[in-house]
Amino acid sequence: MRPSSPLLLLGLTLMVWFLSGCAAAPTPPLPSPSPEVVSVETLLDERYQAYLSGIEAYGALGLGEFRRWLEDDPAPFILDVRTAEEAEATGHIAGAVRIPLQDLANRTDLLPDFDATIVTYCGSGWRCTMALPVLAALGWQSVYTLKDGSLSGWIFQGYPIVSGAPPEPAALNAAQPDPRLRAHLQQVLASLPEDDGATTPAQLSQAMA
C-alpha cells in the first residue's frame, strides 16, 4: 500500500534536513592581513629623501625673490617662528602667521595644506632654518627659509614692515600630519636650549680658550 501524500512530504522534508546537516560547514573567510605599521624612523627617512631629492639652494630664498613671490596668486604662506616679545618689538611681514619654533609641531592646525608653499623667517635666519626640516618631515615639501639676514635683512633693505606682532591666526586644519611624527618632532623641539643652540663670537672665543 502506498503511503499517503502528507507522510511522503514529511519523509522528504526529514531527508533534506538530514542531508543538509551532514554537509560540510562553510569555510569562514580568511582574516584580512593587518596593515603594516611603518616606524617613525622609516617615515622620517622617506620624507627627508623626498624633500632632498627636489630641494634647490638648500631651501634658501633671497629677499628680492621673496618680494616678487608676494605678488603671486596665490602668494606663499609666510611663517614667523619668533617669540611674541620679538615680534612685538620689531614688527612683522604683512600676512605672516606666527608660530614659535618650539611650538611648531604642536600647531600644525594653523598651517596650510601640504601642497602650499611656505616661506619661514625669524630674526636672523637661524631658527627659520631649523623650522625647514621640521616642516619637511611633517609632510610639507615646498618649504623655504628667508636668507640674507631674514627679517633683519628685510628691514635693512627697507622693505615694508607692519608694527607689532601678527594678529592671532584662525585654525585652518588644512593638513593632517602623522601624529607620531608630530609627537616625535615636538619632543625634539622641546629639547632645544633657550638660545636655540646659537652662540656669539665672544662665547665661542671664551669656549676655545
pLDDT tens-digit map of 82-135: 999 999 999 999 999 999 999 999 999 999 999 999 999 999 999 999 999 999
pLDDT in tens, 130-172: 999 999 999 999 999 999 999 999 999 999 999 999 999 999 9
Local structure of 98: helix, strand or coil: strand
81 confidence band (pLDDT: 50, 70, 90): very high
β-strand 60-61 against 77-80: which pairing, if any?
Answer: unpaired
State how far the Cα of 189 lies from the Cα of 105, in Å rounded to an integer.
Answer: 8
Residue with cell 627627508: 48
Local structure of 116: helix, strand or coil: coil
Which pLDDT value is given to residue 36?
60
State how far the Cα of 127 lies from the Cα of 79, in Å rounded to an integer.
Answer: 11
Per-residue pLDDT, averaged over 170-183, amounts to 94
CA-closest candidate to residue 89, choices 152, 169, 160, 147? 152
State how far the Cα of 52 lies from the Cα of 50, in Å rounded to an integer.
Answer: 6
Q: Is the pTM of this model over 0.85?
A: no
CA-closest candidate to residue 189, choices 121, 132, 149? 132
H/E segment holding residue 36: none
Which pLDDT value is given to residue 18?
42
State how far the Cα of 144 lies from the Cα of 128, in Å rounded to an integer.
Answer: 9
Which pLDDT value is given to residue 195?
59
